[in-house]
Structure 1
């Protein structure tokens, strides 16, 4: 299979970014929007063509999909250790190409209407193109260092997009928060990469994942505190993934990232930045599975399960509609990580791995739809506050029905997309751990509850008196909503397990009706409770909140983790550690150097007259010296 044409997929958005960035003031907003959409449309067409060629035309080898690599050496360190740049095409990278392309194209089209009239319209499309280029480079990376380079570019792009409204203090603070928190996580990622390179002699994914390769064959050669060096590297790299995917406790940047324009939220949450951590673990899955008998995967599973439950509890209490969706994303990403982790528990059957990738795929569709639907609502009522909404179904019929489809999909109601992928995750969890399965079922019920709390609060309930009569969004915004609604309804029917599997061979997934029935029943229970509490105005929701007392208060304040981080950084790190170090640096280190310098200047000022440059001074010194020497000579002569 010839994959050279796929170089155009990331290069076209890069070219669009450069074009719009350089000629920002010369290109009219209407033209810049068309250029951005046209560029993404070409990349999307190429991505779809590549998916068709890969899955339906390219020949399998021994029943397995091949990996196709196009690369060249960028920097060489040793005969085996070098950094390459290129393309790696395999089932998950092709799947991610389709996801990134689809969601990014919908966001670009939607943004033409949502951002209309904005002063930075062209700049916004330039940043969108840079973000998309970065994600393409990440998913097509052939090695750890290439993925790290684009990983950081994604971070820079998100900083620019979250802080797009740079005159707004909260947006700037949110951008800095996202950038700094993810940088701490990425520091661990970088150390993990260096450890892998040191002990295996390669950064290449194909070599690292080869069961007969140096990483898997020799993982036990060096150990530290009971774990192999490779396991420590994998934990550190998972730390980077946890930061990018906003898992506990590195999730604090995600809710504040909602300060960016709503299309940015859809792009970051649905298919790009936050799923990068899931993609990283999936990309190195054989290494995670074999090293130390999958011990690190157990960490992945428990962190994912806890993050999923933690975020779902918080989402129930929030009133900003975008923050509810943000915590929903954190919860669903935790679900995906949990599925990857339980693959290490249940044996190498591939269900957990496949379920994680399947949920990533389906989640992209309905989460993008939810965020863009929320943007349509915000565009109509100019508010993010759920308490200031109600009755919008009468004014926004298209947004209402598409949002309902997305809510049903994420709640796992059959036959929509979320039902199929969530069922596979729960099947894998049930085979692995009763505790993790129980958490998964509870999260499924909580997800249905808070999503329909959101839906009923926006479109039903007591109709709010709006300053201006709400209206349906233009076709440029409702068009992507309709496309994503169709995708949210039908992509679950794709026989995903036959295309994406841990061994690349694929298998036929079976629907487990008994487990699916439990999940659906719990989901319907959550929807029913939300219907009772929020469909019409009543006091039940308030009494419900009061019944949980301090727990509800803590959850509404996100368990005060932001305050805890501020206390640790300001009171402990800054005052107790950084301040004394700064004092020593300023008073002792700088003081000693400044003292030496000052003394030098003082001495120089005293003796600078010796080289005044005036002839009479030198003559006087010469004659004085001769007289002094003569007096000394006479004195010595008379002794």
Structure 2
């Protein structure tokens, strides 16, 4: 197959499915709409693997195909093009594989929902927007896809729009992302202003000539490339839920579980990482921006890992896990190991989608219960789900044996990031060493909260039956005084199903199990199969022309020669996290609940997510509301309208009412007024004559 002829099908196939299901879904019916959208996604997935195979093993060279003119205004020229290189080929298989499996999984998960055509249309629209983003050849198309996934995520998070919590979550995601997107738009404007082009092929060769040049503003010289990269990274912070702009991510759990898997595994949240790696020719000449990326990524990895320790909603734990893993990817890119960042993005897609869809299987089997404190002992009832989620847990904790180089997917990619941070720290010190230390500590925390999830859900005493719920009430209810689980899924709120704790948990249907099994293969083999291509000896040939490393950047090379203790450290801290989780939730079952019940200072701090929501509510939200009320009620209503149209109309109305009283309808009143007029006229005439 000719790659240039099939890539338009890959990109526009999901758009066709979205249009058909969205416009004609009611007429076609649920099954036909699902079949069309899922079939087109499977076609895009197969063709994406064809392109990736041709790139990886068939000697395919980078190319750009122009589809149609997009925006042409003066010097601002943008065509809709499809760019194929190692980055886009990798993202094609990540996006289409996860999306196709999510479509298939949703056949079972959304079986009771009355709006299936709309749901599948939104899924396909989301996928099209992401595909247009990852194949963009210039900033304009990148921005189109960037905003497209923002719109589609708003629609998907708020899919059950009759739930106030879903509406609030979708608006929050949309607004927080607009903050980041404002910086992203400013970054694109800065690039066009400095280089007079937004096409990557024309832009990247100009970057070295701009090193040392700046922009005078407010009495300070701003390095041109650093300024552009810094503004663009603000966009990545919003889209990829980095520290300060992360608050939308946990609330996005209000969407159906397949949506959580799609947003958090391979698509929207990885767009920022992809963008930084794509712009490596810029970031390599922006040392200040790279340090900012490293610092924000490291802090995010630490923050999200700590918050994940204290959450009880099964999906929220995995959501904060996503946030933490994105932090790893960013600080890898920040230290110059772009290949390691993309490798972790690639492996993470498999095991994170597996964990989310596995959590969906648990929720489905538990009759839509999401609170892990009301689970336990499920491994007997959901054996396949238990097996695949154990695989996902082993993958995310990076279980593997250094030296032998044998392990699950996360072992290869996460260890490559930690070793790269250590190598960069030896070369440059500073934030790279900080990222290395944080990366190790966060690896231990990741192991703890991941195994905590597994133990609370599948092991220990059952807390879901009536008898067990009373017998083990301290395990189920002692942990809090809050209702933090969002019960986002549709059964109890939307279709009248109760939680039904008296019902026996049950395994999910085959249509939900098959995607879990496929993702399990990726979680086991993706790292081993592609480690040499992504970060090993073959990386130069694989990433040809897609990722740029400056001549002074030897981070990945030095990472391969890291000391033995650095190689073993991630495994040691991960095993330590596993042992502590086993002790707290298996050996001393109920200890975690008693710790939570005490509501200590540290637990309260972590449970409330470092109080970011409260802080933003007290500052930005209230200040914005105050300013809005001030300008609306004070400025618009009282000043502009009061002195303008409303004031003029009020005066006219009052004068009209008073003047209207003169029109009494009685003849003698009119005669009297006429007499007064004549008298007045005569008086004026006499006075004028005497003068």
Q: Same fold (TM over 0.5)?
A: yes
| 1:501–1:306 Cα change, 3 Å | farther
Q: Within 5 A, what are the aligned runs for 1:120-269?
A: 120-210=115-205, 213=206, 216-217=209-210, 220-224=213-217, 225-269=220-264
- Work out the CA distance in 1 between the residues paired with 2:384 and 2:349: 20
- Work out the CA distance in 1 between the residues paired with 2:243 and 2:650: 52
Matched residue SS, 2:74? coil
Aligned to 2:610: 559
Aligned to 2:397: 411
Aligned to 1:312: 305
- How many matched pairs? 616
Whether 2:573 is the aligned partner of 1:522: answer yes
Q: Pick from 432, 453, 457: which aligns with 2:424?
A: 432
Segment drifting more, 311-320 vs 172-181? 172-181
Q: Shift of the alpha carbon at 1:538?
A: 2.5
Segment drifting more, 99-108 vs 182-191? 182-191
Q: Within 5 A, what are the aligned runs for 1:323-334?
A: 323-334=316-327
Aligned to 2:630: 580
| 1:633–1:73 Cα change, 3 Å | same
Matched residue SS, 1:307? helix
Aligned to 1:456: 455
Give per-residue Cα distances to partners, 1:428-466, cap 9 Å, x unaligned.
110223221110000111101100000111111112224
Q: Shift of the alpha carbon at 1:157?
A: 0.6
- Work out the CA distance in 1 between the residues paired with 2:548 and 2:624: 51
Matched residue SS, 1:186? helix
Whether 2:343 is the aligned partner of 1:389: answer no
Q: Pick from 80, 87, 102: which aligns with 2:82?
A: 87
> Retained in 2: the 8 A contact 1:423–1:515?
no
Aligned to 1:349: none
| 1:521–1:172 Cα change, 3 Å | same
Q: Shift of the alpha carbon at 1:51?
A: 1.2
Q: Shift of the alpha carbon at 1:223?
A: 4.0
Q: Within 5 A, what are the aligned runs for 1:286-297?
A: 286-291=281-286, 294-297=287-290
Give per-residue Cα distances to partners, 1:312-368, cap 9 Å, x unaligned.
00000000000000000000001100100011xxxxxxxx11110000000000000
Give per-residue Cα distances to partners, 1:276-315, cap 9 Å, x unaligned.
1111111112111113xx2101000000000110000000
- Work out the CA distance in 2 between the residues paired with 1:28 and 1:537: 52
Give per-residue Cα distances to partners, 1:74-119, cap 9 Å, x unaligned.
222334x322211111111110001001100110111111111211
Give per-residue Cα distances to partners, 1:449-488, cap 9 Å, x unaligned.
1000001111111122241111111110111111111111
- Work out the CA distance in 2 between the residues paired with 1:107 and 1:592: 57
Whether 2:505 is the aligned partner of 1:470: answer yes
Q: Shift of the alpha carbon at 1:170?
A: 1.0
Give per-residue Cα distances to partners, 1:160-181, cap 9 Å, x unaligned.
1111111211111111111111
Q: Pick from 73, 76, 89: which aligns with 2:72?
A: 76
> Retained in 2: the 8 A contact 1:460–1:536?
no
Aligned to 1:616: none
- Work out the CA distance in 1 between the residues paired with 2:684 and 2:54: 104
Aligned to 2:647: 595
> Retained in 2: the 8 A contact 1:207–1:214?
no
> Retained in 2: the 8 A contact 1:131–1:158?
yes
Segment drifting more, 143-152 vs 386-395? 143-152
- Work out the CA distance in 1 between the residues paired with 2:609 and 2:619: 17
Q: Shift of the alpha carbon at 1:543?
A: 6.1
- Work out the CA distance in 2 between the residues paired with 1:635 and 1:42: 100
- Work out the CA distance in 1 between the residues paired with 2:216 and 2:596: 50
Aligned to 1:400: 386
Aligned to 1:347: none
| 1:59–1:40 Cα change, 3 Å | closer
- Work out the CA distance in 2 between the residues paired with 1:12 and 1:573: 42
> Retained in 2: the 8 A contact 1:216–1:287?
no
| 1:35–1:587 Cα change, 3 Å | same
Q: Shift of the alpha carbon at 1:599?
A: 3.3
- Work out the CA distance in 1 between the residues paired with 2:615 and 2:682: 82
Q: Shift of the alpha carbon at 1:544?
A: 5.7
| 1:500–1:547 Cα change, 3 Å | farther
Q: Pick from 422, 425, 449: which aligns with 2:414?
A: 422
Q: Shift of the alpha carbon at 1:49?
A: 1.2
Matched residue SS, 1:75? strand
Segment drifting more, 361-370 vs 87-96? 87-96
Q: Shift of the alpha carbon at 1:607?
A: 8.7
- Work out the CA distance in 2 between the residues paired with 1:311 and 1:504: 28
Q: Shift of the alpha carbon at 1:57?
A: 2.6
- Work out the CA distance in 2 between the residues paired with 1:159 and 1:637: 82
| 1:631–1:140 Cα change, 3 Å | same
Aligned to 2:364: 379
> Retained in 2: the 8 A contact 1:430–1:437?
yes
Higher relative contact order (CA 8 A, sep 6+): 2
- Work out the CA distance in 2 between the residues paired with 1:555 and 1:628: 86
Whether 2:550 is the aligned partner of 1:500: answer no
Q: Shift of the alpha carbon at 1:500?
A: 3.3
Q: Shift of the alpha carbon at 1:631?
A: 12
Normalising by structure 1, what TM-score? 0.89
- Work out the CA distance in 1 between the residues paired with 2:89 and 2:546: 15
> Retained in 1: the 8 A contact 2:280–2:547?
no
> Retained in 2: the 8 A contact 1:354–1:502?
no
Whether 2:101 is the aligned partner of 1:101: answer no
Aligned to 2:495: none
> Retained in 1: the 8 A contact 2:133–2:142?
yes
Structure 1: stretches of 5+ with no match in the other structure: 61-65, 344-351, 610-623
| 1:289–1:568 Cα change, 3 Å | same
